[in-house]
Amino acid sequence: MSTNDAATFWEDVYAARPAATDPRPNDRLVDTVTGLPPGDVLDLGCGDGGDALWLVRQGWQVTAVDISAMAVERLAGLARSRGLADRVVAERHDLQESFPRGEFDLICAHYLQTPYDLDRATVLRSAAHALSVGGRLLVVDHGSTAPWSWNQDPDVRFPTPREVAAGIDLDPATWTVERADAPRRIATGPDGRTAEVTDHVLLVRRTA
């Protein structure tokens, strides 16, 4: 499937729902980042912008990217309306074709899963190389299918965090896996339904 198909798919996803006025951050981001000294952060797949706006409020300088131009424009508008435009850079990137420039103290990739072709291992490897020394890469994936998920395939298999780490294939002399587990939580879907879901959490730190 072409990158144009992927961009159209995600554009349609955001066009089909009202713009979020007060998007919430992902729970695993809050759990992991609270207490870390703020710096420069890259949000891969920013979506409605809840993570980016929360990170700014914690003192981070944010670069947020998404394949959907509508998602990027909505986030930029939210940042402007809150007087945060100088702390948020919102860019459209198809990560299959381009990766944001810069060096970051934290890179987040929450639910960077898609029905279209995406070489995730290459994207996440690029992210690891874009970390400053001491910086962290946080990858949070779906570990189960929620009732409201776009993917309801009963045979879908979710790679474990250790399998994701193995696929990125980072030199242990330079990067260390700090966390690789599968916690559960009660999630709320777009229509207000709740369900228990599993997250696959991988946290990698650049040590050299």
* Integer angstrom CA distances of residue 198 from 8, 20, 25, 105: 28, 24, 17, 27
User: In whole numbers, what is the pLDDT of the chain averaged over residues?
Assistant: 93
Question: Per residue in 147-164, pLDDT tens?
Answer: 878 777 777 889 999 999
Instruction: Tell me what the mean pLDDT of segment 126-139 comes to.
Output: 98
Instruction: Tell me what the mean pLDDT of segment 156-176 comes to.
Output: 95
Residue with tokens 């060096």: 103
Q: In this structure, what CATH number is given to the domain that contains residue 42?
A: 3.40.50.150
Instruction: Tell me what the mean pLDDT of segment 3-17 comes to.
Output: 86
Report whether pLDDT(176) > 70. Answer: yes
pTM: 0.92
Structural domain count of the chain = 1
Report whether pLDDT(3) > 80. Answer: no
Q: Which domain holds residue 88?
A: 3-206
Question: Per residue in 28-40, pLDDT tens?
Answer: 999 999 999 999 9
Region of poorest pLDDT, from 19-28, 51-60, 93-102, 148-157: 148-157
